[in-house]
């Protein structure tokens, strides 16, 4: 897939150059070189479209109930490239069986951009780990962090969400800030809609829907919908 244009306001001092979505994949790979300054990051991830409050648990499910994803924002942190990242753990179940377990690492800069620093992922089959191929960490083996959510998103913004050649090359684009969406957890207006894809899987496109103060409420890929069912916070919150 190719993008017709690029509209990416960048955080001064943090990003040297963000690869254009309309460029060929090899050209984009050569030009992507974010510079991370730990002094430009803050302790909390409180982006209105991607808040990560420790102790919060999100449950997502498909309409047929065959797939469920449990996401938990932990109190744990991990230092990557000198930046203290929040650890978010998720477990994906297919037909009641654990299919994947992941720890993702996020941090927010002073401009409100939420950066994605990598993941430790394990795929399961029959209760046994069969692959860790999707794992990557910024600063290792050529891996680079990406932006998962802009601090002030605008329609047309286009960005890398992650980058490790041949392993993690997800891209995102803001399509709208005025969508409406209804999921089991509730109905929402002024929802941010994104288009997400990776050149590693040509033709596969997902659309994400993010509500202010909640975060991701819906993912759509073709006819499949993964919907937010519930949000719970630990009693200490």
Any domain includes 16: no
Domain that holds residue 149: 25-233
Any domain includes 11: no
Any domain includes 124: yes
Any idea what the CATH number is for the domain that residue 139 is in?
2.40.360
Any domain includes 14: no
Q: Please report which confidence band the pLDDT of residue 27 belongs to, taking 50, 70 and 90 as the band edges.
A: very low
- The answer to whether 55 and 35 have CB atoms below 8 angstroms apart is no
Residue 235 has a pLDDT of 65
Residue 149 has a pLDDT of 97
pLDDT digits (tens, 9 = 90+) for 137-178: 999 999 999 999 999 999 999 999 999 888 888 999 999 999
pLDDT digits (tens, 9 = 90+) for 96-132: 999 999 999 999 999 999 999 999 999 999 999 999 9
What total number of domains does the chain contain?
A: 1
Any domain includes 3: no
Any domain includes 19: no
Any domain includes 6: no
Provide the 3-class DSSP secondary structure of residue 29. helix
- The answer to whether 89 and 74 have CB atoms below 8 angstroms apart is yes
Question: What is the C-alpha to C-alpha distance for residues 15 and 146, in angstroms, rounded to an integer?
Answer: 10
pLDDT digits (tens, 9 = 90+) for 184-197: 999 999 999 999 99
Provide the 3-class DSSP secondary structure of residue 31. helix
Any domain includes 15: no
Report pTM. 0.86
């Amino acid at each position: 897939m190719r993008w017709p244009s690029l509209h990416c306001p960048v955080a001064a001092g943090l990003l040297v150059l963000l690869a254009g979505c309309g460029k060929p994949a090899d050209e984009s790979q050569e030009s992507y070189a974010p510079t991370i300054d730990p002094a430009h990051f803050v302790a909390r991830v409180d982006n209105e479209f991607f808040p990560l409050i420790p102790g919060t648990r999100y449950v997502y499910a498909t309409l047929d109930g065959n797939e469920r994803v449990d996401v938990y924002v932990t109190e744990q942190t991990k230092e990557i490239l000198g930046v203290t990242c929040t650890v978010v753990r998720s477990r994906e179940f297919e037909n009641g069986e654990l299919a994947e377990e992941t720890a993702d690492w996020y941090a927010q800069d002073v401009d409100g951009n939420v950066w994605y620093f990598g993941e430790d992922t394990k795929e399961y089959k029959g209760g046994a780990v069969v692959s860790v191929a999707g794992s990557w960490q910024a600063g290792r083996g050529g891996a680079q962090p990406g932006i998962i959510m802009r601090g002030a998103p605008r329609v047309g913004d286009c960005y890398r969400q992650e980058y490790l050649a041949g392993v993690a090359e997800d891209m995102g684009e803001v399509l709208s800030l005025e969508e409406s969406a209804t999921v089991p957890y509730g109905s929402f207006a002024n929802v941010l809609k994104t288009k997400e894809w990776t050149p590693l899987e040509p033709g596969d496109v997902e659309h994400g829907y993010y509500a202010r103060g909640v975060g991701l409420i819906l993912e759509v890929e073709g006819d499949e919908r993964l919907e937010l069912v519930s949000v719970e916070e630990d009693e200490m919150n």
